[in-house]
């Protein structure tokens, strides 16, 4: 199955997006299609045997819209947005230039020469130039057996315009030319403000894209040449001077410098880079001149992966969106039916309610037009995508990457969070803290030497800590053979013909080694200090203890407090012995501990919690904890650095700061809260606005909305939804 992202031009409302999506889903070979009105993008999955890019674009064109492949740089989207705003601005200026004089001539200067012909000309310009897009959209929708906001606007303004034409010939006394002109101008004003607001909603993506430098200095044939960054090839040597941005991902091959990676990790402190260190495109070289070999280009760079991940999240549909889809599908036909019923009610059923001398036909017509133009499916259609765009954009700038809208919604549902100990709560860099010899035969150095020799072939973090410490202390690492690993217990190996083992008391018992009371107490005491104590032995004899500790991260305690304030039940999951696990949990302020869990059993522990009815988020690294992350209700892969494309994890955290877990949950919840607020206001607006426009208050209070007021309210309802989504930028995440 192939994926295709397209930029769409010509959409005027959420109904347009729905029309395109439905049209594409009917096309042979297309398995899935989603269209985002807020970002003007379509995401399509199709079978290459039955469909291709050309056919898909032609299908979109047949629906009345234009499409082109979404560009990696975002330049095309930026240009399309500029064109849209510029076009709307021109139409708005023309609309204001004709609607203001039209209102003055119609309501103030009643004796103006050639008053009616001038109003007709003004209204015609508004109807067929300023409002041309509404006719095009309505016709396109009708061709495809659908209806949209364009249908409502075209119907309402055309009704007022056509009804007014007989007044030119003295057939009707009343005319509404200024109503149709002003209505269209107000709707265009709303669309203009909406386009600007939608542009701001996608600011985060543009800012990320703008970080990439446009030029690069490449060394070719011994000479330095400046080329467009898009022409860099893998293997090119780039010369990056102080103050310049690194053009693409690579590895330092010459020089050293401090590099500001805050755009990627959010960390404000520069990172020292020297030979063989990785560097990332768009990060800033601070104070040294370095030569970098290009390793990744184009779509493979870290920045491009981040942008792709964010765009996919922005284009995804949250389950909460289904409600809006269901309402939007029947919204326009219902509104048209209500407008017809409104006309029938006032003209044929209740004309006696009207004040004496009131023309029931004109009154009914005005009420029906008001119903048509006040209804706004756009507010409902924009409620979800704009909030998702802003929320995921904010996250991207802070190193918090939501893979899809479902992940955002997941933050709102979870009530339990499980934190893997190593690398999440702790630094993930264990260090040797204690070495104890049980006899005078062995010094601390000889115990360290034996431990390092046995552990030399192990890849376990604790083993690596012991080996590194031995190298640091220049302890001899002897050749070992017959290396064996005992899951959850320890390891053994032969050194000089003798079998040595290192591990917990379970492994000691397996080897029939007996410990004295003092030796057991020493093990217990180290465990209570949150240290992993391991016995080293030879055959049936225990020779000593080596202890390793992994310290808590500076922010772990505060992060746990914040997670609890968010109403979450916090658990710690670890393979450590129960005493060590509880000691670390106490330091972090965690009451619930699951200890002595083998890596392959983490998924089972998550399942057990879920079976108790808990909605569980699992936090760990995206590789070792992949099954547990995938099993949980919300998987948060932490500290992935440049590897943001990790398969597991609904949320990917670039940094290894546990505070980002709390920030991600707060941001996700704030985003879902904004979506719900948007739905509420969009529904309240339509639930109350449509009846008032239909004249239900007229018999009691004499209130009837004019079509102009109704049109203005409709125009600003969608703008208010976008502006409300933009207030997410003010959310406090710490």
3-state SS, one letter per residue, for 561-618: HHHHHCCCEEEEECCCCHHHHHHHHHHHCCCEEECCCCHHHHHHHHHHHHHCCCCEEE
Q: In what order do the strands lie in the sheet with 250-254?
A: 223-228, 215-220, 237-240, 290-294, 250-254, 278-279
The C-alpha atoms of residue 398 and residue 318 are separated, in whole angstroms, by: 22
DSSP-derived secondary structure letter, 647: S
Answer yes or no: are the C-beta atoms of 493 and 481 closer than 8 Å: yes
CATH of the domain at 241: 2.70.150.10
Same domain, 517 and 557: no
- Smallest CA-to-CA distance from 575 within 605, 599, 545 is with 599
pTM score: 0.76
Same domain, 696 and 656: no
CATH of the domain at 511: 3.40.1110.10
- Smallest CA-to-CA distance from 202 within 310, 43, 44 is with 310
Same domain, 267 and 142: no
- SS3 state of residue 559: helix
The C-alpha atoms of residue 558 and residue 564 are separated, in whole angstroms, by: 10
CATH of the domain at 65: 3.30.70.100
Answer yes or no: are the C-beta atoms of 164 and 175 closer than 8 Å: yes
**Residue 174 belongs to what domain range?**
80-203+312-386+675-729
Same domain, 509 and 613: no
Same domain, 161 and 221: no
Residue 124 pLDDT: 95
Half-sphere exposure of 326 (CA within 13 A, CB side): 6
The C-alpha atoms of residue 637 and residue 96 are separated, in whole angstroms, by: 53
Domain boundary, last residue among 549, 581, 608? 549
Q: What is the dihedral of CA 686, 689, 694, 699, to 10 degrees?
A: 140
Domain boundary, last residue among 485, 517, 549? 549
Do the domain assignments include residue 374? yes
Do the domain assignments include residue 150? yes
Strands 431-437 and 271-273: unpaired
Same domain, 265 and 357: no
The C-alpha atoms of residue 551 and residue 302 are separated, in whole angstroms, by: 30
DSSP H helices, 175-242, are 177-201, 203-210
Do the domain assignments include residue 582? yes
Q: How many domains does the chain have?
A: 5
Residue 648 pLDDT: 67
The C-alpha atoms of residue 140 and residue 630 are separated, in whole angstroms, by: 43
Same domain, 86 and 51: no
Same domain, 189 and 254: no
Same domain, 129 and 168: yes
Same domain, 436 and 422: no
Give pLDDT tens digits for 664-723: 999 999 999 999 999 898 888 888 999 999 999 999 988 888 887 887 787 778 788 888
Same domain, 344 and 437: no
Residue 95 pLDDT: 94
CB atoms within 10 A of CB 431: 15
Residue 645 pLDDT: 47
Same domain, 85 and 164: yes
CATH of the domain at 577: 3.40.50.1000
Residue 202 pLDDT: 66
Phi, psi values for residue 431, rounded to 5°:
-135, 150
163 class by beta-carbon count within 10 Å (0-12 exposed, 13-18 middle, 19+ buried): buried
CB atoms within 10 A of CB 118: 17
Residue 73 pLDDT: 56
- SS3 state of residue 306: helix
Do the domain assignments include residue 198? yes
Residue 108 pLDDT: 76
Instruction: Mark the ranges of the chain whose per-residue pLDDT is less than 70.
Output: 71-77, 110, 172-174, 201-206, 265-268, 329, 622-624, 639-648
Answer yes or no: are the C-beta atoms of 475 and 449 closer than 8 Å: yes
Cα Rg of the chain (Å, integer):
34
Strands 257-260 and 271-273: antiparallel
Domain boundary, last residue among 70, 88, 122? 70
Positions marked active-site? 420
Do the domain assignments include residue 209? no
Do the domain assignments include residue 208? no
Do the domain assignments include residue 306? no
* H or E element at residue 541: strand 541-549
Do the domain assignments include residue 172? yes
CA distances from 502 to 426, 508, 510 (A): 23, 8, 12
The C-alpha atoms of residue 539 and residue 535 are separated, in whole angstroms, by: 12
Helices and strands in the chain: count of H runs, count of E runs: 25, 26
């Amino acid at each position: 199955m192939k994926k295709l992202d397209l930029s769409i031009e010509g959409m005027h409302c959420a109904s347009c997006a729905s029309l395109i999506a439905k049209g594409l889903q009917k096309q042979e070979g297309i398995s899935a299609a989603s269209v985002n009105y807020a970002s003007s993008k379509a995401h399509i999955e199709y079978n290459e045997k039955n469909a291709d890019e050309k056919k898909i674009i032609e299908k979109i064109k047949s629906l009345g819209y234009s499409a082109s492949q979404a560009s990696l740089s975002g330049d095309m989207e930026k240009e399309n947005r500029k064109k849209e705003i510029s076009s709307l601005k021109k139409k708005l200026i023309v609309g204001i230039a004709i609607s203001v004089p039209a209102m003055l001539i119609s309501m103030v200067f009643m004796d103006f020469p050639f008053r009616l012909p001038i109003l007709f000309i003004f209204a015609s310009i508004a109807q067929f130039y300023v409002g041309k897009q509404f006719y095009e959209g309505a016709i396109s929708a009708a061709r495809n057996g659908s209806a949209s906001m364009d249908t409502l606007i075209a119907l309402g303004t055309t009704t007022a315009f056509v009804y007014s034409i007989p007044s030119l010939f003295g057939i009707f006394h009343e005319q509404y030319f200024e109503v149709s002109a002003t209505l269209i101008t107000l709707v265009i004003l709303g669309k203009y403000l909406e386009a600007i607001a939608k542009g701001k909603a996608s600011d985060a993506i543009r800012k990320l894209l703008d970080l990439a430098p446009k030029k690069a200095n490449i060394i070719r044939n011994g000479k330095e040449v400046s080329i467009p960054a898009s022409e860099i090839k893998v293997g090119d040597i780039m010369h990056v001077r102080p103050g310049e941005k690194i053009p693409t991902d690579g590895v330092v091959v010459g020089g050293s410098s401090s590099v500001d990676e805050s755009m990627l990790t959010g960390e404000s402190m520069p990172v020292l880079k020297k030979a063989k260190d990785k560097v990332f495109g768009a990060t800033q070289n601070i104070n040294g001149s370095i030569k970098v070999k290009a390793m990744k280009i184009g779509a493979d760079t870290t920045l491009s992966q981040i942008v792709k991940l964010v765009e996919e999240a922005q284009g995804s549909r949250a389950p909460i969106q289904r409600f809006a889809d269901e309402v939007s599908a029947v919204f326009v036909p219902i509104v048209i039916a209500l407008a017809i019923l409104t006309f029938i009610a006032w003209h044929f059923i209740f004309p006696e309610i009207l004040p004496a001398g009131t023309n029931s036909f004109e009154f009914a017509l005005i009420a029906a037009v008001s119903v048509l133009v006040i209804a706004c499916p756009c507010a409902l259609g924009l409620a979800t995508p704009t909030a998702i765009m802003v929320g995921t954009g904010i996250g991207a700038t802070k190193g918090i990457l939501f893979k899809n809208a479902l992940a955002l919604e997941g933050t709102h549902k979870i009530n339990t969070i499980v934190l893997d100990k190593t690398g999440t709560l702790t630094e993930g860099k264990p260090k040797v803290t204690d070495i104890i010899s049980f006899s005078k035969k062995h010094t601390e150095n000889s115990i360290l030497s034996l431990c390092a020799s046995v552990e030399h072939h192990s890849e376990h973090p604790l083993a690596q800590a012991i080996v590194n410490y031995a190298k640091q202390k220049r302890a001899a690492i002897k050749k070992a053979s017959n290396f064996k690993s005992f899951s959850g217990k320890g390891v053994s190996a032969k050194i000089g013909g003798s079998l040595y083992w290192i591990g917990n008391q379970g492994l000691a018992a397996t080897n029939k080694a007996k410990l004295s009371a003092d030796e057991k107490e020493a093990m217990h005491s180290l465990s209570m200090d949150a240290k992993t104590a391991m016995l080293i032995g030879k055959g049936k004899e225990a020779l000593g203890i080596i202890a390793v500790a992994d310290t808590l991260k500076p922010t772990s305690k505060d992060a746990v407090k914040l997670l609890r304030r968010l109403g979450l039940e916090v658990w710690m999951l670890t393979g450590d012995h129960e005493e060590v696990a509880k000691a670390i949990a106490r330091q972090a302020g965690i009451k619930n501990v699951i200890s002595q869990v083998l890596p392959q059993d983490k998924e089972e522990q998550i399942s057990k919690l879920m079976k108790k009815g808990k909605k569980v988020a699992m936090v760990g690294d995206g590789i070792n904890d992949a099954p547990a992350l995938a099993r949980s209700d919300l998987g948060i892969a932490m500290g992935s650095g440049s590897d943001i494309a990790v398969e597991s994890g609904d949320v990917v955290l670039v940094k290894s700061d546990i505070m980002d877990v709390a920030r991600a949950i707060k941001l996700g919840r704030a985003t879902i809260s904004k979506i719900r607020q948007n739905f509420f206001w969009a529904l309240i607006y339509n639930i109350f606005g449509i009846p008032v426009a239909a004249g239900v208050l007229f018999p009691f209070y004499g209130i009837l909305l004019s079509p102009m007021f109704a049109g203005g309210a409709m125009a600003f309802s969608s703008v208010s939804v976008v502006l409300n989504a933009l207030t997410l930028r003010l959310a406090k995440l710490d």
